[in-house]
Structure formats: C-alpha cells, structure tokens
A = this chain, B = another copy of it.
C-alpha cells in the first residue's frame, strides 16, 4: 500500500517537477475531508506560502491530475483527485451549505457515457453538480410546513 504523500512525491518526480516546501504545504492542506475554497486554502497557509505561489501550485497540481476543481454554486472548490480517493459526485445543500460526497454509481456512469456517445462525444471527464436539501435540512423544512405544533 502506497501512502498519499508518496504517491504525490512520485507524481512530481515523474513529471520532472521539484518536491518543494510550498508544494508539500499545499498538498498537506488538501488532505482534508471537505473540498476547500481557494480563500480557505490561502487562509490555511497564511504565513507559510505566498498567495501567488498557491495559485501556481494549484495550477500545476490540476495539470498533473493531483487535484480537481469542483463547481459549487458560483464559486469553485478544490479537492484531491479521484486517484487519491475514488470517483464520486457531490451534492450541495442549499440550506446549510454542506457538501456531501455521493458514492460511485456504476449505472449512472454508464448512462452518462451512453448519452455522450450517442451524440458522438468521447468523454474525457465529467462532473455532476447536485443542489438540494440534505436530510437534516429537509426534515427541518417538513416540520415547518406541517406546523406540527399548531
């Protein structure tokens, strides 16, 4: 079993990129549960890595397929790529803002492939953004609408 950090180091070496401290810091900061916004990332590395360098490192990581850019509403967030986890999609709760990772679904992936292929498109990459209400917020809303206390 190879650790994420080793995998990261190998990816850099294989692409002829140095393993610098800024890159290590950014990668370390990305080893989190939730996808990170650029501003959060900058904040997390405040005093350690310069803002411009973070942008440059993120661009490199994206190019190397180490991280991916998720669209969450109007903004984007960053997350380690599928190579460091597994292929999945996300659902964002419009109420509480929580981003939930949805488990891989083979049937769904097949349908997406099929839809693209029947239209002559060869898929290289895809992203599904789901917006709605999470379990908690949905229940809360039900309570409000049913007014069980009235």
Give chain A's interface residues, CB within 8 Å of chain B.
69, 71, 74, 76, 89, 91, 93-94, 100, 102-103, 105, 107-108, 111-112, 114-116, 119-135, 138
Contact = CB atoms under 8 A, between A and B. Distances in A.
A115 B123 contact: no
A100 B121 contact: yes
B128 A132 contact: no
A119 B100 contact: yes
A131 B138 contact: no
Contact of A132 (B102, B123, B129, B138): B123
A123 B134 contact: no
Given A121-B134, A124-B131, A126-B128, 18 more contacts: A71-B127, A74-B76, A89-B115, A91-B121, A100-B121, A102-B116, A105-B114, A108-B114, A116-B132, A121-B132, A121-B135, A122-B132, A122-B133, A123-B130, A124-B132, A125-B132, A126-B131, A127-B128
Contacts of A103: 119
Q: How many monomers of this protein are in the complex?
A: 2
A125 B115 contact: no
A135 B120 CA distance: 5
B116 A108 contact: no
A123 B94 CA distance: 10
A19 B111 CA distance: 42
B128 A112 contact: yes
A111 to B, nearest CB: 4
